[in-house]
Structure 1
Amino acid sequence: MKIFVNLLCALGLFALALSAHAEDHQQKQSIVFGVHSKTAPLEWRNNGVDQGFNLELMDRIGQLTGKRIVIRRKSFQQLLEDVHNRDSLIDVIAVVSPITVDRTLSQSDPIYATHAKAYTLQGKSFINGWADLAGKRVAIKKGAFVDVYISGKQQNFKRVDVDLYETGFQLLIKGEVDVVIAETFVARRLLPLYPPVRSSSDPLIYGAFNFVSNYKNAAMMTQINDALRQLKLSGEYDRLVNKWFGTGREKVDLNSAQKKMLSLAIFVSLLSAIGMLLTGYISLSLRKRSKALKGELAQRKKAEQAISKLSKQFQSVLDGIPHGVTLFNQEAQCLWSNDNNNDLLSNPDFHYIDGQAFNLTQALTDALAANKSQTTDMQIGNSYWQMQLHPIIDQQVVILLEETTEQHSLRQANDEASRLASLGELSAGVAHEINNPTGIIIHSIAFINDALRDLSEASNHYQKQNPFWTIAGLAPDVAISELDLSSQSIHEGAERISRIVNDLKRYAMPSLTHEYQPICVNEVVEVSLRLTANQTKIFNVSTDLLSPSPIVMGDAQQLHQVLINLIQNACHAIRQDADCYESGEHINIKTSVEDEHICLIVSDKGAGMDQATLQRITEPFFTTRRSSGGTGLGLSVCSRIIKEHKADMQITSRLGIGTVIKIRFPLTY
């Protein structure tokens, strides 16, 4: 019996040891990932399912490292305590670290960039920097990257610690704090819930999401970093970023979206029901009104007595009036007329100025029904008229006709001048707003160029140590060269934006003067073709340049802009499904000297233009490509530049044949 008991005890101890070994083995084959965020698109729970960028990224890392990812959802403060506790089951968490401060724990390469800003109540002044926080009560989330950033730094404001950014927003509403410094992804979700709160500063702290490991799992971070780098090299990291952070595809809280959609559907249903009731009421009213009008018109069809003859003296006075005067009854019978332009009323080409056909009987009926004078503008051919209808006694109407062609032309000219003046002011304002970001691009690309020159030497040194090292799948020297070409293209594009903006300003202020210099026309063609190589690479572009090159007095950058615009228009005019796309030559650029003029000719075999389009082609903001992003400023600015160079532009075009644009400069050399 004693032997049997000892045997059972031994079997039990063996089973416990085997279970502990299995549990320890399972823990070694898994990574416990602690999450706390409820903010899309990083991580959140929808219908009980955890999802988000961090979760999907960690899941891929687990696949590459051969470990199962176990999700544990806790509060942020609990996760901070767990990751510093060696006995905790939490292995890794995702937190934001300031880009200038490292955490004491082992952390991964940066995952995704973010920043923190100041948030205040509506109506408070804008915060330009840390100095503006002096003396204010500022809510700081304990343990967050804002807390890490300011730790150990001098603080001239009163700090109020909170457990959540949402707690800070609640204190802000109550007036217990003046400012909340919050991370942007969280604040973006909270702002719709707290309408009185607004963003009141530019980014104060820049940070990046990192995976942070427990002390006991520091070696695990090496595996995570290797997997993370492998995902970046394979392009799968970029796919995840585009999926969760791509333009126009930012993830939202699905539960909130469903509630909003339900509320919207209820509102639309109520609106539809009200619309149906209103439509029924209007329909019933219209039926009653139609019945009343039919009865009234039936009564007015009775014969009326003829009016007394006008005296000869009154007749002579009316005959001497240069305007047409005609008296009608309600049956559209002419009772009297001075015979001046009376025939217009029966002319089928005589119509309202908006194009609506004119019907004399209907006009008389409407005037009598309204029983008040009416004045309308009319048109026939290129002449304009003003027609006045005056109801008088016995259901009669006097019609006065006065020609207003000259007044109409003056009014159109005045309206056009006013519109162009407004467009000029608008263009100047838009140009001013574009200049600021363009300057930032030019300044930043200069720094990138300097950095590339320094990195080139480091790249050569590292390549000697690691011959198989690549950058974005390319050999280091090829990648550095491509980066250099890309930065140059960005710089050239930014400078071109700046030049276009200056041209837009110049269009608004055409009185500016220029000091022109001798310009080689052939060189203008070659530079413009290089700048438009990306657009013209699918077309067959030929050149016929006069040698030696003609010389004109002008501004090279402005002439580049003119020719670039003409080349781009030619590319847009050529449809890839057209017959000309399969033919030999698509676009031809020619320089020549003709009739004491230097000519720059751009011809294409595109769709061509009709006469109506040709008449408005240089009008500001007129474009046939509005749906594809056309602004209508291109040829307008080009026309302005050409006039400033004392040149002229001749345009000939036929539908289905193509377009030829000839710019003629005065011969000065």
Structure 2
Amino acid sequence: MKYPCIITCLLCFLCSVFSTEVEAWQTDENIIFGVHSKTAPLEWRNNGVDQGFHLELMSRIGQMTGKRIIVRRKTFQQLLADVNDDTSSIDVIAVVSPVTIDRQLSQSDPIYATHAKAYTLQGKEFIHGWHDLAGKRVAIKKGAFVDVYITGQPQGFVRVDVDLYETGFMQLIAGEVDIVLAENFVARRLMPHYPSIRSSSDPLIYGAFNFVSNSKNARLMAEINDALRQLKLSGEYDRLVNKWFGTGREKVDLSNTQQRLLWAATLVSIISALGMLLTGYISHSLKKRTHALNLELAQRKRAEHQISRLSQQFQSVLDGIPHGVTLFNRDCVSLWSNDNNNELLSSSDFHFINGDIFQLNKTLIQVLDSQTSLIADMAYRTQFWQLQIHPIGNDQAVILLEEATEQHNLRQANDEASRLASLGELSAGIAHEINNPTGIIIHAIAFFNHALKDLQQATDAYGKQNPFWLIAGLEPQLAMTELNQSSLTVEEGAKRISHIVKDLKRYALPKVTTEHQLLDLNEVVKVSQRLTANQTKIFRLNIQLNEPAPMIMGDAQQLHQVLINLIQNACHASKPATGDDSDCDTITIETNISGNRGCLTIRDTGAGMDSTTLQRITEPFFTTRRSCGGSGLGLSVCSRIIKEHMAEMQFSSRLGQGTKIKIQFLSVPDSIKALKLSSLEQDT
């Protein structure tokens, strides 16, 4: 009696399906559904059959609205063009829209949520937010919801447009981009094919799938929304979601799986039928055994699912940590690692910040024997790291590596700022205390010079009356010559002190906004060259001025001071001509335009500087010419003037090969904008 019932049910089911198909084909109205994705479980083709969540949902909506669904597959860019074209045959497509931004086209209620994240190569740093994208090359799929989201917003990264997310992944492997911002479902499909790529951020953009159509189909979109809401209210939408997304994995080959399950079910049914025909006892035993096995299998699946979920969560957390984490045993064997920067531990360039050699084996044994954690600052080439070794029991220890280059540089900058601030305050006090007595000396020595001129005649007359008269044990004429020379020496020394005091006062003064004007950089060079002509005449001077002349915003007098100081330093470092011009050093001054920025370069072929001197040349009071009267304030004042002009001064030098100083000024529009911002900050 059971078999006729089963056959009857199958016939009824086939009839209902057939009648439904007939009704669909007899419908006068069609909905052309544009499909582009190859991403399971949304929409893809398997063995020539279109399937997926979007396709089944749209098919069900077509049944409810009495319309026939016709699938058309095109590229993503073609579908975007069609849906914006009122004359196109495409009626509806499924796309992702950011949750905070609506597309201009007519779109349905949200269908299913998704998100986009950053993807990088294995071992690269974790992306904590949009600020970590600054300065990086980021691949964006043209027209995708990531493109829609960032369009019109400020971007601190270099955008690289691609036609497909897969193109972005290939460019990432080739080193043409640093990061790919990709939609979750597509990235999950692609990552098994690109094992060197990993997910490197939490969701940066949240979006939702929507059905989208152009304005001519507003009535059609209203019908789709009504059908979609009915499906949600009836619970059929939840059934579809559970069918396509319930397992939490992509369904790449669902048709083959269904076929295998169908064959397996058929085989089981045949075996069961034979068993039922052979003996009821065997049937009863099989049922009991099957029930027990099903219970055990269900329990194992639940346990495996929980273990797998916890393992994936734990692994994703460890992989997401940008710092190196490694577990070692006493024999220095790595038991586990997240493979982030752990190659430093075996590098000979990795050492303690005080210069002591780092030996992993020795340090690890010391920590385990003492059972005391070690936290130390380390250096690796130009980077700085923090090393932490924590014992776990007597035989294992965990090593944590965290890059601390930025923190180290900030500490150094803070120490430098504090030291310079102290020097500034000290300079102001010294300048004030020295200035008054220096002025008195200069005033007095001027009086002595006039007095000596007047006393010369009296000395001559008295010397004739008294031939044996001496001044300080010297003959009158010799004594007057010595007095004149001493007076000139004192005056020159006092003026030197006054000049140093002026430099100190300028260095110690707070920043004062100067009225910058439009300047010809070539004219600044010509004026400075004329003022230093007496010093440069004994050298080979090469002046190369760009035409048209670079135009900058600045203060001409201050820039003359900077260039004169740099020319004088080049003269001090160069060898003058001794008779043959080929035997002297060359000083080159040139201007040029790089991009839209004016550049000034001063080069000499003189003595050059070592790296230690090069790092300190802009420090106040640092000089290599102390014995020759250098005060060490010239370049520090120049550096301050250049900073006030919002320009950059770059030094490069090698011993015996000369020195090059390059100054880059902002373009005129950027300079004006920066001056306005600086003025606004001071007013505030």
Range of TM-score over shorter length: 0.3 to 0.5
TM-score of the pair, normalised by structure 1: 0.40
Structure index of larger Rg: 2
